[in-house]
Structure 1
Amino acid sequence: MDSLKKTPLYDTHLKYGAKMIEFAGFSMPVQYESILKEHEAVRKNAGLFDVSHMGEIIIEGKDSEKFINYMVTNDITKISAYQAMYSPMCYSNGTTVDDLLVYKFSNEKYMLVVNASNIDKDYNWIIENKSGYNIDVKNISNEISELALQGPKSQEILEKMTEYNLDNMKYYHFDKINLDGVDCLISRSGYTGEDGFEIFLKNDYAQSMWEKVLAVGEEFGIKPAGLGARDTLRFEAGLPLYGNELSEDITPFEAGLGFFVKLEKDFIGRDALFKQKQEELKRKIVGFEMIDNGIPRHGYDVYAQGEKIGYVTTGYQSPSLKKNIGMALIKSQFAINGNEINIIIRNKPYKAFVTSKNFYKKNYKK
């Protein structure tokens, strides 16, 4: 673990009794009290996550909008200043470099928030493709900490720390906000299916901000939460995880993210994705629910009618639904709701049926 990168909150996690694991080259808390209790806290009250391992890349210059719009599949010309947009970023063959958030300050300044495992890869991909564009690119990932306050009581907690009227902040919008005397960038966004906020601040203030949010949130039932709950929460809400539902081998269409692919504009991978849409998808990500009493896990094989048709991308015993459920990438002809499939668990087939990926109804503030 000594060779792993650490966020500025590493010592704080140890103080709170976190169980630490390797994730994306970082030593990160997977849980404190328990994944189940942290998951329930976010669904009912609030949870605080350290997501400082995520990457931040600033793109500035007069060609910023034009360049980013060419790099990502979504159309960032549709957002206003201080609005954010989700988008995949693809290779020329249509598979996925990463999925990220584009934060717009102006037509000439943006911040890309990228997955921790892809920071260097994304940065290098951007640099490789910036020729001919009047832009400056800066990777500030090592300078910025990020906290995610998630759950139905998140706003009440933050309101005790700022004079800013959070009622005015819509989903996927952000602003520069003074939070308990610290200048932060706060967005109404998250990765749990609940209302919540993501707080970007300088590393020096991360530890004191963590302690302050937990202290203020104590009366609201807040808990520190680790990567374990983060994964069960995002999975229930049908949100993809890069390396599971998206990868260098999986296109946004296969992942069910066609809504974020705007074929009417030009971008890297557009021709390949246009061709894939014109033809029938050979495989796609589906949800499934177990019939037999087994827990599916990432990587387990999926069979139907005696043949291997794909593999499990994510699988859990859902804390909210009390069911064994999962997502899988399977051949399209079997991707029909209600279809029976078999998940191979310890070399034995366990019955399941195909269902929607949206296991849990999202509770965002629109």
Structure 2
Amino acid sequence: MSVLKRTPLFEIYGEYGGKTIDFGGWDLPVQFSSIKEEHEAVRERAGLFDVSHMGEFTVKGPMAEQYLQRLITNDVTKLKEGSAQYTAMCYADGGTVDDLIIYKKTDHDYLIVVNASNIEKDFEWMNSHLVEGVELTNISDEVAQLAIQGPLAEKILQKLTITNLSEITFFKFQDGVDIQGAKALVSRTGYTGEDGFEIYCNREDAVSLWRKIMEAGKAEELLACGLGSRDTLRFEARLPLYGQELTKEITPIEAGIGFAVKVDKESDFFGKETLKMQKEQGLQKKIVGLEMIDKGIPRTGYEVFVGETQVGVITSGTQSPTLKKNVGLALLDIEFTPLNTIVEVQVRKKRLKAQVVKTPFYKRA
């Protein structure tokens, strides 16, 4: 039996009531209090997440920009120093290798953040297309990542640093921020649909940083949060999860992140031909939101029918803690994707009615 990997924060999960599960080979907290409480804390106040299982690579050298342009769907040339960009990396057929964030430090120095379950696969893919003048390094084991998310995130974190956090606007970052003696890269990004920051620090600083942030957030009732609420939060905000909304069979455009696919950029990139065709000629299937009409929860993998024909599958679904409705994301044949279309979801032995609705299910005011 393989041993589960642990983040630098594993040792203190117990102090905050963390209940851990096997998450893609990692021993991670699914919740600390309850998923519902943690979800509400992030929507209304703030929550702190350990996301140190995520992967980090550096791409350095005189050819770094050209190399990334060839690998990713977005346009790296539009990135300014101190800015981040959400993008996807595709195979030649347009299927998704991963979705990721690129941080531009300088013209020749980038930080790439990838999904935990894809670290080895992504590194191999990027390494196999390496060019002269580029140095690719996997620094995942050296870096810890904390995410403080919610409307009070800035107020709490600001107590711990003299850096003016209000100057770090959405998808911008600052490197070398001093947080009570720990140096960190702080970016205004997240995976919850709320305002907040992701903090990249040395793994040795993770435990003390976690404690200091939790202490600073006491008056604001900051909660330690686990993977359960992270999933319900990202789902309500319609942020894709690799392995569900994005896979090697599902393109970024089918998944609904076409805004991160720049088929008109000069540089050729993997999947460009297929993705250009999908943008110009339309799709055969795409992911849409469903709201249950009948009583039942649409879970990942449940089949979707119209009459006796299967027309799709649920990629993610739950009872939305914010909306108190049973909703799902489903990959459906294109003719069944217009708003208000009625479909049926196979929930165990019953077929239950649902209808296509607008997404995101939740958008912050």
Q: Give the TM-score category using the shorter length.
A: over 0.9
Alignment of 1:35-184 (within 5 A): 35-131=35-131, 133-176=132-175, 177-184=177-184
State TM-score, norm by structure 1: 0.97
**Of 342, 345, 348, the match for 2:347:** 345
Residues in 2 aligned to 1:8 and 1:139: alpha-carbon distance in whole angstroms: 17
SS in structure 2 opposite 1:148? strand
Residues in 2 aligned to 1:292 and 1:264: alpha-carbon distance in whole angstroms: 44
TM-superposition CA deviations, 1:97-152 (whole Å, max 9, x none): 00000000011000100000000100000010113x31001000000000000000
Residues in 1 aligned to 2:286 and 2:172: alpha-carbon distance in whole angstroms: 31
**Of 356, 359, 362, the match for 2:358:** 356
Alignment of 1:323-334 (within 5 A): 323-334=325-336
Q: Which amino acid aligns with 1:59?
A: V
Q: CA RMSD in A?
A: 1.1
Residues in 1 aligned to 2:19 and 2:248: alpha-carbon distance in whole angstroms: 30
The residue number in structure 2 matching 1:186 is: 186
Q: Which amino acid aligns with 1:153?
A: L
Q: Which amino acid aligns with 1:217?
A: G
Q: Which amino acid aligns with 1:51?
A: V
Q: Which amino acid aligns with 2:230?
A: R
Residues in 2 aligned to 1:162 and 1:258: alpha-carbon distance in whole angstroms: 37
Residues in 2 aligned to 1:274 and 1:79: alpha-carbon distance in whole angstroms: 22
Q: Which amino acid aligns with 1:326?
A: G
The residue number in structure 1 matching 2:309 is: 307
TM-superposition CA deviations, 1:295-319 (whole Å, max 9, x none): 1110000111321011100000000
**Of 281, 284, 291, the match for 1:282:** 284
SS in structure 2 opposite 1:105? strand
Residues in 2 aligned to 1:8 and 1:303: alpha-carbon distance in whole angstroms: 45
Unaligned runs of 5+ in 2: none
Q: Which amino acid aligns with 1:328?
A: A
**Of 292, 295, 304, the match for 1:293:** 295
Q: Which amino acid aligns with 1:168?
A: E
Deviation of 1:25 after TM superposition, in Å, equals 1.4
- Cα 1:2–1:217 shift into 2, 3 Å: farther
Deviation of 1:243 after TM superposition, in Å, equals 0.6
SS in structure 1 opposite 2:252? coil
Deviation of 1:2 after TM superposition, in Å, equals 6.9
Residues in 2 aligned to 1:302 and 1:18: alpha-carbon distance in whole angstroms: 35
Q: Which amino acid aligns with 1:315?
A: G
Residues in 2 aligned to 1:3 and 1:362: alpha-carbon distance in whole angstroms: 40
Deviation of 1:22 after TM superposition, in Å, equals 1.0
TM-superposition CA deviations, 1:70-97 (whole Å, max 9, x none): 1100001111001000001000000000
Deviation of 1:14 after TM superposition, in Å, equals 2.2
Q: Which amino acid aligns with 2:197?
A: F
Runs of 4+ in 1 over 2 A off after TM superposition: 275-280
The residue number in structure 2 matching 1:33 is: 33
TM-superposition CA deviations, 1:317-360 (whole Å, max 9, x none): 00000100010001000001100011110121011100122111
